[in-house]
Structure 1
Amino acid sequence: MGPQPRQMGEDGPMNSATQRAWSWHKQGLDGSLEGHGSGRVLSAAGWARSVGGANPYLTLFARAGIRREEADADVAALRIHELPTARGCTYVLGADDFAWALTLGAGAAEAQAKVLDKLDVPRSELAALEGDVLAVLGAGVGHGEGSPATLDPKELKDRLGGSVRSLGEAGKKKGASTTLPAVLGLLQADGRIRRVPVNGRLDQQRYSYAAWGLEPATESPEQARALLMERYLGWTGGATLKETRWFTAFTVAQTKAALAGAGAVEADGLWMLPADADERENFVAPKDEQIQLLAGSDSLFLLRRNAASHFAEEDAGRQLGSTRLALQADLPDHPIVDRGRIIGLWQYDPGEERIAHWLFGAPTKAVTQRLKEVEAFIREDLGDFRSFSLDSPSSRQKRIDALNAAG
């Protein structure tokens, strides 16, 4: 039986403010995840998108007050880790999800390997190079068997010597200068190796590689897709078919099967878990302010890519420079949020060691207090707040100046 439609309640669709607060609640931004560890936060609220930026750290701090030192210790102990998964994108996720989540990203690694097929690189050559990489790293070193060797790509290439083939100009045109990156992708996709951040931090993109030996997933591909759908609908509290397909990259047939596998029901145009559909009918938005400063790539927005719906109607026309904010699929700056409603924007200015911000209304005591808390967290724990690996103070200076002027 496929996923089932569900009739709307007598009051009709949830109003926008309550829907925003519902998403906020499902994301654990209402204080419900305080005191929980990193793995639990990521399991409950959603994997944290990682592109060499600081979003994973703020994800954990906003929901559970977790500081960088604790998060880094969890990374070192493999309680959380950055892995390629849905859509082939990298996320930071908890240990319980490692094996089955990796299977969701295997297609991206295989696609990279298929590029080499077109460059006349036989699979037997890739298999041989896989074996050589594992031999160099010390294959079979697992969770409790000591510290495996870690080598960065250059060190690996030097150790492997002639095992790595240059693919010349033809390869460069297809984004594959040698055979090594594709092999590293294949080995990482099935948990035989893992990437290790060179300084133990999540907000950069410089890695070494280590042998891993992760136990294979017990879930079939169909079960893994259903499990992701169940998690995704739980993280969002409900999403449209289009939104689920954007996040998962499933085909239409795979999406329908995954919705059925998750037992999803439909209400008000959203697919959701039955328990959430019941809870949502009686959900009441909090009356008091709940202020958070989030990254633009926070799961609250990225999972459904619906930042526009988090603006109140009276803020829909707001512009910063020539950018009309509510028309952007992705926010140009980081948001200041109250119960799911975007009430301002911010960037961190490391030169001034302060948060440059623009509030749409007058600052309240709660807003002022949270600005100070996050400013101190970034200054003391992170030093800067980059959106992605190539972000820098100079590259965002115009944004900082615009926020200062608007504010």
Structure 2
Amino acid sequence: MTLISSLQPAPTAGSETWGARHAHDPTVVRDDDGTYYMFSTDAVANSEDIPAGVHVRSSPNLVDWTYVGTALDGVPSAAREWSGARGLWAPDVVRWPSPEGKPTWHMYYSASTFGSSTSAIGLAVADSPAGPWTERGLVVRTLAGQDTQNAIDAAVVFDRKGDPWLTYGSFFSGIHTLRLDAGSGLALTEGDLGTCIARRHTKVDRAIEGAYVVYRPEDDRYALFVSYDSLFNTYNVRVALADEVTGPYRDANGADLTDVDAVPHTVGTKILGSYGFDGDTAWLAPGHNSILTVDDGDQAGQYMVHHVRFAEDPTQHIVQLRRVFTTAGGWPVVSPQPYAGPERETLPEPVPLGGTWRVVRFDPASTDIAPARPVDVHDDGSVTTAGEPRQVRLTVGGVELDAVVFGSWDFSRNRTALSFSGIDSDGVVYAGTQGA
């Protein structure tokens, strides 16, 4: 085992002002002391003054982020020799149970070069998200011309029995999942490349990546979040559910995410894409998400953590967190507003749901920026809320939705407001914020 490093601030002028900017492919965890850590691709690395090696930020509240350095001192030797990578991509960090009762932390990082499937996923471990990290070797590796898979974009889920699985993949032959050894965190079977759980047709360049699986004990099912299309301008997040971790994963219309014979945009329920509210920044190409679950406190709940680009300057990107909810029909949906903290997202008193809302329709056939339009929203006249999440049936512009309403911070109006997200009978997702 090779000791890697503790977190060390990078000698980068201005990095103290980055906040959540310049982070790509993010995952967030909470340490035992309540501090949140964000790990991301070293997306601005490979210059003289910005180091490679998994960039790390910390936050006390999931809103204010401070860049604190790199978790790894560059690309570990085995991953570099296999892939030729100059930087590390898409780390997933997970609390790992230990037989001794003291959990450790596992970091699964990706090493590759753009457009190549000669790639590797490696493992490093630590007693704290702050490090130091100890290298444990390669978990999965693929070779262009020999393997159809691409060993990047790792994500770990523990199944209903507590067994760990690694989900990974990008373009090429799609998303795969394989069993890990509960003791070592490496592949249970050396050389195992896993089972395909999602893929896309060659006529859309097989554009799928950034997968993340969550086990839902409340209904004993697995939710697969995955990004479609191009990370540069058309990313969008799709969801499907399965009874087993290995699938089949089906969308709201029953389509299997491995079905390459169907029209490509009709497979996978689109829950987030490019959109814009009036008077506010339009967000382009949200994607490559992870899911953070907070079990206690005033921030308890689930959050989608993803990066997104500024529509007016797509070269600039930032990480956003959005609250995740489940409709009465069991479907995952996310807030149309980035997370702003419990104080900002709680109304002073209950308000009725009826009235004019600004609503986005996430058309699964479109990759354009969806504008928020004023739409009349109706409920049965009896539902009011001050922001606590509530499953409801809403009629939005004449379309009936299985929806959730919740408090949010309306960034375009700089105020607390109700928002909703819901799905219609055709499997199309709508989201909106109250107020004309």
Q: TM-score range by the shorter chain?
A: under 0.3
* Larger strand share, 1 or 2: 2
- Higher RCO (CA < 8 A, seq sep 6+): 1
Task: Provide the TM-score with structure 2 as the length reference.
Answer: 0.22
Provide the TM-score with structure 1 as the length reference. 0.23
Give the structure with the larger helix fraction: 1
